[in-house]
Amino acid sequence: MASRSEEAFWTEEDAQSLAETTDVELLKRAWRNEKAAPEILTFQANLVQRSREQIQLLTDHLCACLPACNHSMKLEIMKYLFLGHVWIYVNGVQEETVEELSGNASDDLIISLYQMDLDRTLFLLRSYLRVRLQKIEKYMLHISKTQLWNRLSEQEQKFAEKCTDIMEKHLQQSVLARLPYGYQSILKQSISSEEDDMVPEPQLDTFIFCKSKGSVGAFQLDDTGDEIVDLVADDLYVLRYKSIKGLVEGGQIDLV
Amino acid sequence: MAGQSDPHLSIFSASEVEFLAEDETMEIVPNMRMDALHMICGDFGPFFPQIATKVPLWLAVTLKKRGKCTIRPPEWMSVEKLTQVLEAERESPREFQPLPFHYVEISRLLFDHARDDIPEIYMVRSLIEDIRDVRFHKVESGLETISARTHAVKLKNLSVMEVNIVRPFIVRALQAFYKHDSPEMIPQPDATGDRRPPVANRGPRRDLRPR
């Protein structure tokens, strides 16, 4: 049932990865990487969209099966999906498995199993979005003035803008406005600072645990080239995030 | 509200690690008939009595709790296999034996919910505990070798739960070495007179970054 709706949302680039694994697997990977990486990673727009479709589909089926599940409960489930994102309601959802489900004697069991499946996926999706929001809150100034901005989804960008506005206003009113001239910038310690030294930045040279998916081969850890690691499949390493950044983005390595 | 564990980014809570382990595939023998389940996380079944099938651990545990199936403990969870692993683990002081990435959580969940399906459960349990202890001791003694020149630490076959436990310590240790080491690696032309310019130079910049 749920898997049938996917096809329409496949794009060239993720068709291949989809063939290998399920969306839940992919979402789990995105969640783990996002949680472990110090900086914000690219928003997995297609993946999130697909996961939402499937959640929506399953929610509809469950609601159709459960007489007790009325409109308000459905809204309750839908509420979880918002989380700073605009939910795009998909019309024309087919309810083909309703008869299958309600015709069976072990109805309750099956429905509760589907409910668990739904809860697990919802948890992953919510947690993924929330980790991102936490990072945005923490590094909003840094994100908004660097390339990282493009990694956010449209809704996240809105969130970041609003958040920055509120934070700026708050700091202005509570502290900065009362400081002497030259110390009133939200970005700089004082007017004599050459760069924006009051902007929290993610610490890219922190160490992270990572696991290689396939064989990456000899990999240079620092610019000087005196540290080379041979990454074989399934190796577990503790490395500096900065040095394997590219591999994480390219999907060759997973953070754990 | 549920959905998030701890204030620290990047560190998984024990229950989140367990959540991940619950997706590992497990073999069950159902005792009832049930249609195939087409779930978001995959298709499972159909289920027929006495015919083994593969499902994720969470599904296995749920069915087990309702008395709808027996769980077949994975191959590595036999006394024989675990004894071998323990021996090998003791013999090689620097390497970890290959065990499932989630072996701690899987065994824990099975001990909690499917104790009657595991033959010689007390033996299996104490073997796994011993293996954990030996491995952890190795991790601890391995930590002593971390030095200023450590750019990477290889921990092949270390399991998730073990990673999660040592993560805060290893990361902070490496971080501390890295931080104190870098000023020496970066040439400081004007650092001749004063004895403490590296600290002074790096200090203010670092302070602003949240740890």
* Residue B140 DSSP symbol: H
Q: What are phi and psi of A192, to 5 degrees?
A: -85, -10
Quick count: other Cβ atoms within 10 Å of Cβ A55?
A: 21
Q: Which of A6-10, A162-166, A232-236, B131-135 comes out lowest in average pLDDT?
A: A6-10
Supply the pLDDT for residue A100: 44
DSSP H or E run through B46 = none
Residue of A nearest to B24 (CA): A25
Quick count: other Cβ atoms within 10 Å of Cβ A1?
A: 21
Supply the pLDDT for residue A87: 36
Q: Which of A44, A45, A52, A102 is nearest to A77 (CA)?
A: A52
Look at residue A98 and tell me whether its pLDDT is greater than 80: no
Supply the pLDDT for residue B195: 39
CA distance B98 to chain A (A): 11
Q: Do A235 and B42 make contact, defined as CB atoms within 8 angstroms?
A: no
Closest Cβ–Cβ partner in A35, A123, A256 for B9: A35
Average of per-residue pLDDT across A176-201: 87
Supply the pLDDT for residue B74: 94
Q: What is the mean pLDDT of chain B?
A: 82
Closest Cβ–Cβ partner in B23, B32, B209 for A201: B209
Closest Cβ–Cβ partner in A131, A221, A235 for B9: A131
Residue in the structure block whose two tokens are 């769980």:
B71
Supply the pLDDT for residue B69: 94
Q: Do B210 and A138 make contact, defined as CB atoms within 8 angstroms?
A: yes
Instruction: Please tell me whether the interface predicted TM-score (ipTM) of this complex is above 0.90.
Output: no
Look at residue A64 and tell me whether its pLDDT is greater than 50: yes
Q: Do A221 and B152 make contact, defined as CB atoms within 8 angstroms?
A: yes
Which percentage of chain B shows pLDDT scores above 70?
A: 81
Look at residue B190 and tell me whether its pLDDT is greater than 70: no
Q: What is the pTM of this model?
A: 0.79
Average of per-residue pLDDT across A102-119: 77
CA angle A116, A110, B3 (to 5 degrees): 5
| Partners of residue A48 in chain B, C-beta under 8 Å | none
For residues A93 and B79, the model is more confident at B79
Q: What is chain A written as a DSSP string?
A: -GGGGGGGG--HHHHHHHHHS-HHHHHHHHHHHHHH-SSPPPP-HHHHHHHHHHHHHHHHHHHHH-TT--HHHHHHHHHHHHTTS---PPP-----SHHHHHTSTTHHHHHHHHHHHHHHHHHHHHHHHHHHHHHHHHHHHHHHTSGGGGGS-HHHHHHHHHHHHHHHHHHHHHTGGGSPTTS--SS-SSTT-SS-TTS----TT-EEEEEESS--EEEE-STTS--EEEE-TT-EEEEEHHHHHHHHHTTSEEE-
Give the three-state DSSP class for B6: coil
Q: pLDDT digit string (tens) for B30-87?
A: 999 998 998 988 899 899 999 999 999 999 999 999 999 999 999 999 999 999 999 9
Give the three-state DSSP class for B71: strand
Residue of B nearest to A237 (CA): B154
Look at residue B150 and tell me whether its pLDDT is greater than 90: no
Q: pLDDT digit string (tens) for A192-242?
A: 888 888 888 898 888 899 988 877 777 777 666 667 778 888 888 888 898
Average of per-residue pLDDT across A9-36: 71
Could you tell me if A27 and A125 are in contact, meaning their C-beta atoms sit under 8 angstroms apart?
yes
Q: pLDDT digit string (tens) for B125-144?
A: 999 999 999 999 998 888 88
Look at residue A38 and tell me whether its pLDDT is greater than 60: yes
Supply the pLDDT for residue A190: 85
Look at residue A47 and tell me whether its pLDDT is greater than 90: yes
Could you tell me if A63 and A56 are in contact, meaning their C-beta atoms sit under 8 angstroms apart?
no
pLDDT band per the 50, 70, 90 thresholds, residue A67: low
Closest Cβ–Cβ partner in A104, A127, A236 for B35: A104
Look at residue B120 and tell me whether its pLDDT is greater than 60: yes
Q: Do B9 and A134 make contact, defined as CB atoms within 8 angstroms?
A: yes
Q: Do B156 and A229 make contact, defined as CB atoms within 8 angstroms?
A: no
Supply the pLDDT for residue A68: 54
Encoding tokens for residue A22? 């399920």
Supply the pLDDT for residue B156: 87
Average of per-residue pLDDT across A66-83: 54
Could you tell me if B167 and A243 are in contact, meaning their C-beta atoms sit under 8 angstroms apart?
no
Q: Cα B50 to the chain's mean position, in Å?
A: 33
Look at residue A70 and tell me whether its pLDDT is greater than 60: no
| Calpha distance B200→B204 (Å, rounded) | 7
| Partners of residue B66 in chain A, C-beta under 8 Å | 109
Supply the pLDDT for residue B179: 80
Of A209-213, B2-6, B99-103, the range with the highest mean pLDDT is B99-103
Supply the pLDDT for residue A97: 39
